[in-house]
Amino acid sequence: MVQRILERGQIETLASRAIPRVRLPDGQVFARRAARLRQLAEGHAIGDYLRLMARVADAQQAALGAAIDVTLPTEAAIAQAAAHRMPPLAGAELGTGAWRGVLRAIADALAAERGVPAAVGALATRLRAAPDEWIVLQAAALLGGVASDSLDRAAAPFVMAALQVQWVALARTFTAERVAPLDVPGVCPLCGSLPVASIVHAQAPYQGYRYLHCALCASEWHRVRAQCSQCGNGKQIGYYTLDAADGGPTIAADAAAVRAEACDECSSYRKIVYVEHDAAVEPVADDLASLALDLLLGEQGYHRASGNPLLWQAGEE
């Protein structure tokens, strides 16, 4: 039997060609999101909402920066999850989490904000006074643990924002190499949540590759381009973008920084953002600011594959 021995240079060449499977969130994820939301809010039809969410992202960044206290899964639990090809952070404990303190900090930030609509002020007051059991129930409903008819839709984006801080903090304790692959390519390999959108990066070693961006922990995982992020179909994929001129459907203006990737096999779509066309794109912010594209895709008969964490949307029933 002949074995081919690779020289050092060849090994490096191969290694550099390997596509990084996972891209973990850095410590500035919410600061970037806040800046992008403010940028997109300028002259936008829902500019006030985007600015409000930018304020929420500021509060998230402050909480993340203050190094919130998270309970890590044990090494044994991580190994067990990997052995069963399960995401290691899927079962992170809601009842003991620091995220409830983050929610109150977000509510404080909103309450201190001048010029917020009365309804938002009232919501902030309600969240500050909410009992722990109610907050935990909301989180469980959002993360799919209990029936969603207990969900308070007005509070949902803020509860989700608090959960994001805890899960980003948890994700940041991992290294990409330690994240084991799952059998299900459509969910986050760390926390098991659905992606909010895709991003095509422009910097090495991620350049030109498409990653799905987790709605909860902001981790990203590689998925081949031109393949439906929902069902994996690789044939009947269409790209939609908003035509600035008339708002009508146009297939794939190649320079658009935000497009919708629609699949005729499963009739669903997700947005895909391109760093090469706009270096400031951020999956959660750009998805939120492109609601007009959602209306267009709805008119075309497609449904959203999954919601935006900062906007409660009715899922597929």
Q: Which of 141, 237, 138, 219 is nearest to 178 (CA)?
A: 219
Shortest separation between residue 287's beta carbon and Zn ion, angstroms: 16
Shortest separation between residue 60's beta carbon and Zn ion, angstroms: 15
| 60 or 193: CB nearest Zn ion | 193
Shortest separation between residue 156's beta carbon and Zn ion, angstroms: 18
Shortest separation between residue 255's beta carbon and Zn ion, angstroms: 25
Give dist(CA 196, CA 70) in Å, integer.
Answer: 24
Contacts of 184 (CB under 8 A, 6+ apart): none
Contacts of 196 (CB under 8 A, 6+ apart): 213, 214, 215, 270, 283, 284, 287, 306, 307, 308, 309
Give dist(CA 128, CA 94) in Å, integer.
Answer: 18
Classify residue 144 as left (phi > 0), alpha (psi -120 to 50) or beta: left
Largest CA distance in the chain: 77
Question: Which letter does DSSP use for residue 5 in this model?
Answer: P
Please name the helix (run of DSSP H) or strand (run of DSSP E) that holds residue 121, with its range, or none.
helix 118-129
Binding site for Zn ion (CB under 5 A): 188, 190-191, 193, 214, 216-217, 219, 228, 230-231, 233, 263, 265-266
| 167 or 209: CB nearest Zn ion | 167
Give dist(CA 127, CA 161) in Å, integer.
Answer: 13
Shortest separation between residue 227's beta carbon and Zn ion, angstroms: 9
Shortest separation between residue 317's beta carbon and Zn ion, angstroms: 19
| 35 or 188: CB nearest Zn ion | 188
Which residue reads 């209990």 in tokens? Answer: 146
Q: Which of 195, 100, 186 is nearest to 140 (CA)?
A: 100
Shortest separation between residue 248's beta carbon and Zn ion, angstroms: 24
Residue type, 287: D
| 214 or 281: CB nearest Zn ion | 214
